Structures are given as C-alpha cells and as structure tokens.
Amino acid sequence: MAISDRTEELHSSLSQILTTKQGKVAITAGPATVWILLLLLAPMIFMVIVSFLEVSRETYDIIFEPTLKNYQALFDSSLGFWESPFVKALLLSYGIAIISTILCLTLAFPLAYLLAKRGGQTFKVVIFLVLLPFFTMYLVRAYSWVLMFGQGGVLNSTLLSIGLISEPIELLNYGVFAIIVGLTHAYFPYMLLTLYASLDGIDFSLVDAARDLGASRVAVMKDHILPLTAPGIVGGSLFVFVPSVGAFITPRFLGQGKVQMIGILIEGRVNGGYAIGYASAASMFVLISIVAAMVLTFRYVSIEELGGG
C-alpha cells in the first residue's frame, strides 16, 4: 500500500512539472539540447583544446603541454606571411564563397519574386524542378559536374562538335570556375527558398499602387521590395556563404588538384601527416570568421525575419 501511494505521489509530481511552462520547455527542448551538446559543442571544444597542443606523429598521442606552435605554423613561410599555404587557401575560400553567394542571389531573386507573385501551380512545378536533383546523393551530383567540365568534358566536346570553337576552352577545364559553378548549383535552393519566404510576405498591391502613382521599377525595387526582403537576402547569403567556405567534396572533384581551398588543405594535413594540431588551428580561424558573420547577421536580423516571419 505504501508503494502504491508513493507511485501515485511521484506520478502527481511529474504531472505538475509537465503542466508548467518550464517543464514543457524541458521536455521539448531537452533532447535537442543534449544532441547539440554531444555532437556539436563537444567536438568543437575538443578541437579548440587540440589546437593548443602537440600530437606525436609516431604514436599519435596528444602531448598535454600548451603551445602556440600550431598557430605559428599557419603563417610560417619563407616568402612572407601572405604566401603561407594557409593564408592563400583561406583567402581563396572566402573569394570563391563570396562569388558563389552573389551568383546564387542574382539567379534566385528574380525567380523567387516571380514565384511569390504567381504562386499556385507555378510554384509547385518550379520548386519540384529545382529540388529534383537533390533526390540523389550530393556525391553523385558533384561527380556529374566532373563529366561536364574538363578538356574532353561534355561542354567542350559539344562546342567542338558544333564548330563554335576550334580547341577546348581552358575556362571550362577543372579549376576555380568549375568549383564556383558546382557550389552555386549545390546551394541555390537554400537561397531561393529563403528569398521566397521573405517575398511571399509582401503585399504586392502596395507595389502596384506605387507603380500607378508614377514610381519607376527601379524606385519600387530600391525603396519597397529590397528593404522588405533584406532579412531573406541576409539569411540566404549566410546559408550559402558558410558551407561554401568549408566545402570539401566539390573542390576535391572539380578542382582536380589545381585549387586548394581551406577544406582541401585541412584534409591533406590530417591524412598526409596526422597534423591534427595544425588542422585544428586552421579550423579555428574558419570557425571564428563564420561565428563573427553570424553574430553580425543576428545583430540586425532576427530568427523570425530569416524565416520570413
């Protein structure tokens, strides 16, 4: 009887906890919080710690003696600071990521605007066509671009066969241009859907009214549409820029050893000499720059605005 009373008391206490606001938050957010702590924050903390330690290349043991050698190695070059492999790879990664982001924005904005104005069946068809390639593995999609580029790829072969060129175009060979195309294709849907979420909340009757009152298309775009879609532009740019900086598969496939972005550099140092201290220090700079970009973004744009709310 005492056990039954104790069980009933515990059940009543648990029910009271679940009915409180704090209890509901704990139940709904608890599993996600544990997941983030174990699979995101814990590896990051380990990376930060290892970046200040040495790792034996013979035994692979971590030597727990704080050092700045890993960070010094990032900028070590006989030709000067700017010629170190890390600095060159990091700046190249930023450049490629910025260009890919601008291309995604330029291509996605007109389409998102059209979808927001028309919607209905047009929206469903276009979204299906945009997302269709994403029903396959990312690895397969990256490899499909390998077949398109190169001296004997589909693009050069087609242009040669129809007589538009007399020799393969070097730009269509593997390298920076191919990587930018691959990254733009990979992250275009993120930009499109984010912009659409912002544009879909615009009352286009106000745009039509501004046009009727004599405002030019440029003025309407500058004074009305762009300010209202600024959160979507910032959010979409963030969703493209961040993964593009640390991209690995696309540069590996479409760079063909000609381009060393930061992801390729880190992977090469780890697999080539198990330099996880160097790789951790390099990753720290990428992580800090990405966190800085996100902090700057959320200083001016809220989470609700990024989602089109």
What letter does residue 37 receive in the DSSP assignment?
A: I
Choose the most confident range, by mean pLDDT, from 63-72, 100-109, 226-235: 100-109
> In this predicted model, which residue has the larger pLDDT, 30 or 170?
170
Task: Check residue 99 and give its pLDDT.
Answer: 96
Could you count the other beta carbons within 10 Å of the beta carbon of residue 149?
Answer: 24
Please give the Cα distance from 112 to 192 (Å, whole number): 6
Domains of the chain are: 79-306 (1.10.3720.10)
| Residue range 81-93, pLDDT digits in tens | 778 889 999 999 9
pTM value is 0.82
Q: How far is CA 107 from CA 104, 191, 272, in A?
A: 5, 9, 39
pLDDT at position 170 over 70: yes
What tokens appear for 288 in the block? 């800090």
Mean pLDDT of 250-279: 88
**In whole angstroms, what is the distance from residue 119 CA to residue 111 CA?**
11
Work out the average pLDDT over 68-74.
89
Q: 253: burial class by Cβ within 10 Å (0-12, 13-18, 19+)? A: buried
Buried b (16+ CB within 10 A) or exposed e, 85-103: bbbebbebbbebbebbbeb
Helices (H) and strands (E) in the chain, counts: 16, 2
Of 176, 150, 197, 302, nearest to 244 (Cα)? 176
Least confident of 25-39, 69-83, 121-135, 176-190: 25-39
Whole-number pLDDT of residue 105: 95
Rounded to whole angstroms, how far apart are CA atoms 108 and 236?
10
Q: Would the pLDDT of 260 be above 70?
A: yes
Q: Say how far apart CA 301 and CA 194 lie, in whole Å.
A: 13
Tokens of 296: 């700057």
Q: What digits encode the pLDDT tens for the residues 109-127? A: 999 988 888 777 777 788 8
pLDDT classification of 294: cutoffs 50, 70, 90: confident
Q: For residue range 212-247, what is the model confidence (pLDDT) as tens digits? A: 777 787 888 887 888 888 888 888 998 899 899 989
Cβ-count burial of 128 within 10 angstroms (0-12 exposed, 13-18 middle, 19+ buried)? exposed
Mean pLDDT along residues 38-47: 83
SS3 169: coil
**Is 198 a residue whose pLDDT tops 90?**
no
Residues 5-42 have pLDDT tens digits of: 555 555 565 555 555 655 555 566 667 777 777 777 88
